[in-house]
Structure 1
Amino acid sequence: MEFENEESAGKFERFLFLMIPIIFTLVLLGVLLTLFNMDIRNNVLAIGNKIPFIEKVIPDPPAEPGSETATDPEAQSEEQEASSETTIKKLKAQVAEQAKQLQQVTEEKTTQETQVQALQKQIDGMKEEAAAAEVAPEETEDPYEVKVAELAKLYAGMKASKAAPIMENLTTEEMVQVFSAMSKASKTAILEKMDPKKAADVSIKLKETTDSTDMAIAALQSRLKQNEASVATTTSTANLNKDKLSQTFTSMPATEAATLLGSMYSISPDKVITILNTVSDSVRSSILGEMTKKNSAQTAKIVNRLMGGK
C-alpha cells in the first residue's frame, strides 16, 4: 500500500510538474492577448475559411463594426447618393446666391442709367436755356427805342420842307433823340430847312450825345419843363396839362419814368407827387416798383407822401 501510494504520488507530482508551466503559459498568453485586443476565435475562423472543405464546416467570422458598410455596395451607393445630394444642395445654394448678386448688380446698373439719363436731360435743358439767353438780347429791343426809331423813319420819309417845321415844335432834346436815329442824309436835309438857331442848337447837342437812355431822359425832362411852363402861364388849361402829363408818363417805359422821377425828387418833391397822382394806378405801381429797385428809401418817402404823410 505504501509502495502504491508512493507511486501514485510520484505520478501526480510529475503531472503537476508538467501542467503548471503549461497552465502558466496559457494564462500568460491569455493575459497578453487580452492586453493587445486580439480576437483569436475570429482569426482562427478566418484561417479555417481559407482551407478547402473545412470552410464548409467552419462558420464565417462575424463582421467588424463598419466593415459591412465598407463591403456592402448598396450601403456605399446610399452614402454616395447622400453625399451627392449634399453637394447638389450646396451648388444650388451657391447658384442662388450668385443669381441674387447678379440681380442686385443689374438693378444698380439700371438705377445708374436712369440717373445718367436724368442728368443728361438737365444738361440739355441748361444748354437750351443758355442758348435762348444768348439769343434773347439780340431779338428783344426796348419798346421806347423802337417807337423813337419808327418816328425817325416817319420824319425821314417826309419831305424835308414839311418835316422841318413839324420838328421845330419839339424840344431841342426831343429833336436830338429823333435825329440820332436818322441817317446822315436825312439829318442834313431836315436841318437845312429848319430855323438856323434851332438847327445850331440841335447840331451841338448831337455832337454831345452818347447814350440812348441819357437822350431819352433829357427829352422827357425837356418835355416836362415845357409842360410845367405852360401850366404856370395858363391856369385855365391846368386840367388839360395834367391830362397831357399823365398821358406822357403813361406812354413812357416804367424804367425810364422811374429814373426821371427819382432825379426830379431831389429838386422838386411836390412835382413828383403831383405827377404820380395824375397817372393811373397800374402805371403808378409800375413806376414805384422800378423806383424801389433803384432807391428803396426814397420810394418809401414818396409812398408816405402819397398817403398823406409829410
Structure 2
Amino acid sequence: MSNKAEELSLNEEKKSSKIQWFLFVIVIPLFFAIAIALVVMTMSGINVFDLAKKYSGDIPIISSIVSNDEDKEEVSDSVFSLKATIEDQKAEIANLQAEIESKQKDLKASQEEIDKLVNEIKALEEKEKEATIKLEELAKVYETMSAKKSAAILSVMANKDSIEILVKLNNETRAAVLEKMEPKKAAELTVLLKAEENKAGINSEG
C-alpha cells in the first residue's frame, strides 16, 4: 500500500511540475510578450483595437463575436431609422389631411366663383366657335380668288393671321397659294403650318 501511495504521490508531483513548467516557460512569457507588444504598438501610434478587428476575421471565434456585435449595431440602427421614418410619415399624413380639409372648405366657399368661371369659359368657347365659322367663310372667299391674288394678300399679312386662313384652305388651294409666294415667305409659312398641324393633331388625340 505504501508503494502505491508513493507512486501516486510521485505522479501528482510530476503533473504538478509539468503544469508549473508550462505556466512559467510558455504561458507567462507569452502574456508578458503580448503586453510588451501592445505597449510598443500603442506608443508607435498603432490603433490596437482597429488592428485586432481587422485580423479577427481570420480567427473563427473572434470573427463571429465581432460579427455578432456589428449585426446588433446594424439592427439597432435600422430599428431607430425605421421608427424615425414612421414618425415622419405620420406627421406628413397629418399635414396632408389638414391641407385636404382646408381645400374642401375653400372649395365650398368658392363654389360661386367656380360657377362664374365655368360660365365665362362657355362664353369664350361660344366666341371661339363663332370666330372659327367666320374664318372658314373667309377661307372660302380666298378659295374663289386666284392663287396669285391670294398669295399677294397673305404675303403682306402677319404670319399669325396668314396661318389662320391657310389652315382652313383645302390642300390644293393652299399649295397653289404658297407656290405663288416668294420662296422665303412660303418657307416661313410652311414651317408654321407644320407646327399648327402638329398642334391640332396633339389636341385631337388628347
Please indicate the TM-score interval, normalised by the length of the shorter structure: 0.3 to 0.5
Higher helix share: 2
* Rg (Cα) greater in structure: 1
TM-score (norm 2): 0.34
TM-score (norm 1): 0.23
